[in-house]
Structure 1
Amino acid sequence: MTSHDRPSRFGFLDTNSPIAPWRLDRQAAELAATAPRTIVDIGCGWGELIQRVTQAAPDAKAYGIDADQELLERGRAGAAERGIADRVEFVEYQGEAWTEPADVVVCVGAAHVFGTAAEALEALFPLVNPGGVLLFGDGIWEREPTEADLAGMWPETTAADWLELPDLVDAAFATGFRPLRVEAVERSEIDDFESGFLRDKETWLLANPGHPKADEIRAGADQHRAWWLRGHRGPWGFAYLTLGRPV
């Protein structure tokens, strides 16, 4: 379908998770500094982070794992533009079935494929080579949500869906990881992410107000914005844990 037929997807975002440019740059630099030879990103989307790490780690071979073929094609195009297509392979695959370990493992916003965050950390531990690093990103509760909070959020959201940050770190400890960095994003990073996510739709609607699909797309955008502004904006946050596996 052409851009006239529907909005673009993630056209205004560097990554499909809330993160400021400075934080993304630092994550890429810190992961590259471990001098990995193998990298795997489960739920990679278009793999912006692993492309940056691979570009800065000349001995690395990276694998981006995702089930979304459109996003994988975007990743392949990006790797070709950066001149690293021979070292970054994008694989259409269900992430929970991946079994090959790596020196650097990335799982950001994809914990749900394993179940809970604790179950994801347990499943990811054997995928990290001894002495290697996991970058794990997942939603957190900034505070215990009320019933009113939950009612305004995504359908069927429950208090059990995410942990508070200290409990997420405890889950990493219980699995055997040691934390190298613990960070929660700022509210502005989530606002920027949600605005960027919706901007594809809003830009398209401004250019195509009378399109047969405009009412459907407008309703979907407005519902998403309500979940953000009247629902998860406040009780919900997002955290990144950089975790080391002992040798």
Structure 2
Amino acid sequence: MDKVEYKNFYDKVGKLNGWDFSKLQVVSEGEQWDFYSEVTQRCKKSDLLLDIGTGGGEKLLAFTDSAILLVGIDHTNGMIQTANANLQKAMKQNVRFLLMDAEKIEFPSSFFNVVSCRHSSFYAKEVAKVLKKDGVFLTQQVSDNDKFNIKQAFGRGQQFRPEQGTLKEKYLSELAEAGFTDIQSFEYDATEYYKTYEDLVFLLKYTPIVPNFGEFDNDFRILQKFIEENQTEQGIQTNSKRFMIIAKR
């Protein structure tokens, strides 16, 4: 998918589901951190927090007590519509969701104490612009060859390439160029077990792991064969590969 195709995809998913995968029956072994726990540990009650690529706001709404004001931005109407619907249900007064592109963050300079970004693109210079001195930026991203056996089965996939660490090194370099200090990176490759065929279909339908999943005639045949070859007692096995970067302004 190119940039326009990704935006259209996320807009469609945003209207249908937001970024809510809580219904999935999946067990993970080997995760080394919970991203939003890492974020909340670095927040004070008096802080202002910006969440880039907030999706349907599901994660942000789960820790509203961590900061005085939490702002989630996303670049698609569909996600922001779902986020505001979720906000209305949650009845939280200190959260705002805004349609905004990460390439141009329209807030005053040095406005936020903490900026987070999970599984979404960010631009280091824009983050640096709106982050206060001594503020902290945290991001978790999908690593190269996440869900590797699924992508092998389909012969296509998000970041499906032999080079390892390409995206992480790109972000580390950009953060350093933008003036961030004390830049730390972490990575894990956990094992995941999905309980049912339906769980995998939901995952592939609402993520770009396998671009345009279901639009090719043999996609479901490939998926069925994949399940047969990767079925274990714990469930259908794949991997979850992630990296996290924490940097100070």
TM over 0.5: yes
Report the equivalent of 1:92. 99
Q: 2:128, 2:180 within 8 Å by CA — same for their partners in 1?
A: yes
CA distance change for structure 1 residues 127 and 80 in 2, over 3 Å: closer, same or farther?
same
What does 1:213-224 align with in structure 2 at a 5 Å threshold?
222=220
1 or 2, which has the higher helix percentage?
A: 1
Instruction: Give the strand-richer structure, 1 or 2.
Output: 2
- Name the % identity: 14
Greater mean alpha carbon deviation, residues 21-30 or residues 68-77: 21-30
TM-fit CA distance, 1:23 = 0.8
Which of 133, 140, 143 does residue 140 from structure 1 map onto? 143
Query: Which 4+ stretches in 1 moved above 6 angstroms?
Result: 19-22
TM-score of the two chains, using structure 2 as the length reference: 0.58
Quote the Cα distance in structure 2 between the aligned partners of 1:133 and 1:179: 10
CA contact (8 A) 1:11 1:200 kept: no
Q: How far is 1:13 from its partner? A: 0.9
**Structure 1 pair 92–8 and aligned structure 2 pair: CA distance change class (3 A):** closer
Does 1:153 pair with 2:160? no
1:64 Cα deviation (Å)? Answer: 1.4
C-alpha change, 1:110 and 1:167, in structure 2 (3 Å) is closer
The structural deviation recorded for 1:99 is: 3.1
**CA spacing shift, 1:164–1:44, aligned 2, 3 Å:** closer
The answer (yes or no) to whether the contact 2:145–2:159 under 8 Å persists in 1 is no
Q: TM-score by structure 1 length?
A: 0.59
Q: Distance in 2 between matches of 1:182 and 1:92?
A: 29
Displacement of 1:38 after TM fit? 1.7
Question: CA deviation digits over 1:35-92, x for unaligned, max 9?
Answer: 45322222110123332343333xx2222111333322332233334331x2211112
Q: 1:81 to 1:223 in 2, by over 3 A?
A: farther
Correspondence for 1:176: 179
Is 1:48 equivalent to 2:58 in the alignment?
A: yes
1:30 to 32, 41, 54: 41
CA distance in 1, matches of 2:47, 2:174: 27
Number of aligned positions between the proteins: 205
Q: 1:43·1:64 contact (CA, 8 Å) conserved in 2? A: yes
